[in-house]
């Protein structure tokens, strides 16, 4: 008989999608100068300090979830949940940070000013959708254990 694998594949795939979505364009804004696409690393490089930390939480949560899928540790299930929550909370904080900007140049000298939540969600791009799909898959994998 074959030995049953304890690898939670759905959770692993979901968190890998989160990490991969971070390197793809997350936001796309249009201005007079054209369209501006920003990956997670663009936000880390050009944002204010709080925005950098919030953005890194998304990537760190995704990478931690992938690593925890392969490493045997005590309380692995709790740590996997924590990695997933860190990633989700980081994304929420990024959106809140951009919405509540005070007109300062946040990204690459682009003055976004105060924006509404609907504007931010209309500006989501492929990386954002991949991150959200990754969370959904990871949650399904976490809950089912498959």
> pLDDT per residue over 86-142, tens digit each?
999 998 888 777 777 643 445 555 555 556 667 777 778 899 999 999 999 999 999
> pLDDT per residue over 36-64, tens digit each?
787 888 777 765 788 889 889 999 999 99
DSSP letters spanning the chain: -PPPP---HHHHHHHHHHHHHHHS--EEEEETTEEEEE-HHHHHHHS-HHHHHHHHHHHHHHHHHHHHHHS--TTHHHHHHHHHHHHHHHHHHHHHHHHT--S-EEETTEE--S--HHHHHHTB-HHHHHHHHHHHHHHHHHHH--
User: Would you state the pLDDT for residue 103?
Assistant: 39
Question: Which residue would you say has higher pLDDT here, 17 or 27?
Answer: 17
| Among the listed residues 106, 68, 105, the one whose alpha carbon sits nearest the alpha carbon of residue 85 | 68
Cα angle 83, 88, 92 (rounded to 5 degrees) comes to 145
How far lies 132's CA from each of 2, 22, 63, in Å?
34, 11, 15
């Amino acid at each position: 008989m074959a030995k049953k694998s304890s690898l939670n594949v759905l959770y692993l795939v979901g968190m890998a999608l989160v990490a991969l979505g971070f390197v793809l364009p997350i936001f796309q804004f249009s201005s007079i100068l054209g369209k501006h696409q920003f990956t997670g690393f663009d936000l880390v490089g050009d944002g204010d300090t709080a925005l950098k930390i919030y953005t890194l939480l998304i990537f760190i949560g995704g990478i931690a979830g992938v690593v925890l899928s392969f490493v045997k540790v005590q309380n692995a299930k709790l740590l996997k949940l924590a990695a997933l929550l860190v990633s989700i909370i980081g994304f929420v904080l990024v959106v809140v940070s951009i919405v509540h900007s005070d007109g300062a140049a946040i990204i690459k000298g682009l003055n976004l000013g105060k924006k509404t939540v609907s504007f931010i969600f209309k500006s989501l791009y492929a990386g954002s959708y991949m991150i959200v799909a990754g969370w959904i898959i990871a949650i399904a994998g976490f809950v089912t254990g498959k």
